[in-house]
Amino acid sequence: MAPYDALYGRPCRLPLRWEKLDQHVTIGPKIITSTDEKIKGIQEQLKVIQSRQKTYVELHQREVELDVSDYVFLKVTPIRVVTRFEVKDVTYEEQPVRISARKLKSLRNREIPIVKILWQNNREDNAT
């Protein structure tokens, strides 16, 4: 997988050019062949880097075999203890109290009624 694909999750759609600014501009099939050559060089470098990383991991990795009677140390995160003062659920359901305003909104083909409702446990300026 290409690095751009891995990073963004889609293939790169931009025309890629790796020539320096002081070089002459190539047009036509020359740009395609030069781009292909650059891509092949990058792919070879990535293969070398990946194989080097793989050999490093294989040198430092060891296979562990355990029997049923073996003792193993497991690192476990502590469990959060619930105290008797802790509130479990503080949500409540809002109830409408009254309709504070009515308005009729006119559009091109129809009219829409708009209603402003005052909710329980809210101030007048928080009505929706």
pLDDT in tens, 42-70: 899 999 999 999 988 888 888 888 888 88
Q: What per-residue confidence (pLDDT) applies to 19?
A: 56
Q: What per-residue confidence (pLDDT) applies to 84?
A: 62
pTM of the prediction?
0.33
CA angle 111, 117, 114 (to 5 degrees): 10
Half-sphere exposure of residue 24: CA atoms within 13 angstroms, side-chain side: 3
Whether 112 shows a pLDDT value over 60: the answer reads: yes
Q: What per-residue confidence (pLDDT) applies to 1?
A: 66
Separation CA 89–CA 66 (nearest Å): 45
Q: What per-residue confidence (pLDDT) applies to 44?
A: 92
Separation CA 39–CA 16 (nearest Å): 10
Residue 119 near residue 126, CB atoms below 8 Å: yes
For CA atoms 24, 27, 32, 33, the dihedral sign is negative
